Amino acid sequence: MAHKHNFGAGPCILPQEVFQEASQAVLDFNGLSILEVSHRSPEFVSVMNEAIALVKEALKVPEGYSVVFLQGGASLAFLISAMNMSGANKKAGYINTGVWATKAIKEAKNANLEVVEVASSSDHSFNYIPKDYTIPVDLDFVHFTSNNTIYGTQFKSFPQTDKPLVCDMSSDIFSRTINVADFDLIYAGAQKNLGPAGATLVIVKDAIFGKSTYGTIPTYLNLETHAKKESMFNTPPVFSVYVSMLNLRYLVKNGGVEAMEKRNQAKADLLYNEIDANPLFRGTTAKEDRSNMNATFVLTDESHTEGFNKAWTAAGIVGLKGHRDVGGYRASMYNALEIESVQVLVDVMKKFAAENA
């Protein structure tokens, strides 16, 4: 089949080289398929260790942090992060920037925390990032979602606070440089920018271990369990970790997060410039908060919907439909999406405008 341009929001596109290596390992990883190999085999233990080391290298994770791979996705990490970060006040601040933040708030309550919504952009359908707010002094931590996959908004600078910061980075981790030392806990489902679905990445400050006020945290949900066992407490998601490791190798070999950030900026600029210049389209979020990962836009005249859908489909583009809660279009431009694919979309938009002027 002809190669498609995958603008889907997740699971994500990965480099072709990674797909090829992964497919090879399905047939022969160490004489066995990666799908049948024991997670206790030395070959897989070294994959896990390399994956953890590559995360540390790519994000310059400082001493005093553990990197763990779990299952359950970001959705379980909503609960895990709240349980493990529960502090003296059993009270946490959440910045509500949409569906995922709202789900995180729900799970914090399930972890018996009192939740203060320190800021929210619900007044404008979550189309911007709240900026002016004060953070109460009696919070155990502040939680935010660095990139709002559904709406296409992204924190360009992170909340300023002396409280521990907890962040759902599912859809923009490894897309830009971050200072891990600013955070106590970062989590991300693998399938948005790291690898295949099945693994959840958590980066956690070791100093939090043993300090939770939640009570007895169930064994699997206690991050210390996994940190102590180097993510081998139980059977890890072997294939997802393996392919994530391949993708991290590729990332580091190709200039790392710094190079990726430049590439992602160039892709985003190319598309947003077209959205702004083309009278048939309009961006849906505040310009200063536009996500470099997920660009959301609508047609200025909905009667063009059928024609535009035909045009991009014919160009081999897939995954451009907006989230069912929001409608319109969403172009997800994760790390592995080539700028050539963005150019194909921009050309379709230009041609469509010329034909429908």
Q: What is the DSSP letter of 290?
A: B
Which one, 75 or 89, has the nearer CB to ligand PLP? Answer: 75
Residues that bind ligand PLP (rule: CB under 6 A) add up to a total of 12
Which one, 25 or 337, has the nearer CB to ligand PLP? Answer: 337
* 241-to-7, 42, 249 alpha-carbon distances in Å: 23, 15, 12
Residue of 100, 140, 163, 172 with catalytic role: 100
Stretch that binds ligand PLP, among 71-79, 129-137, 210-218, 304-312 (CB under 6 A): 71-79
Alpha helices in 157-237 (DSSP H): 223-228
Q: What is the DSSP letter of 68?
A: E
Q: Phi and psi at residue 354, in whole multiples of 5°?
A: -60, -40
Query: Is position 312 annotated as part of the catalytic site?
Result: no
Residue of 163, 192, 205, 267 with catalytic role: 192
Q: 3-state DSSP call for residue 144? A: strand
Query: Within 169-228, which residues bind ligand PLP (CB under 6 A)?
Result: 170-171, 189, 192
Beta strands in 164-262 (DSSP E): 165-168, 185-189, 200-205
Stretch that binds ligand PLP, among 40-48, 49-57, 69-77, 131-139 (CB under 6 A): 69-77
- Residue 9 · residue 337 · CB < 8 Å: no
- CB neighbour class for 355 (10 Å; exposed up to 12, middle 13-18, buried from 19): exposed
Q: 3-state DSSP call for residue 301? A: coil
CA distance 237 to 351: 44
Residue of 140, 168, 172, 289 with catalytic role: 168
Query: Is position 168 annotated as part of the catalytic site?
Result: yes
Which one, 193 or 274, has the nearer CB to ligand PLP? Answer: 193
Query: Within 138-177, which residues bind ligand PLP (CB under 6 A)?
Result: 145, 149, 168, 170-171
Query: Is position 100 annotated as part of the catalytic site?
Result: yes
Which one, 41 or 75, has the nearer CB to ligand PLP? Answer: 75
Catalogue the active-site residues: 100, 168, 192
Q: Which residues bind ligand PLP (CB under 6 A)?
A: 10, 73-75, 100, 145, 149, 168, 170-171, 189, 192
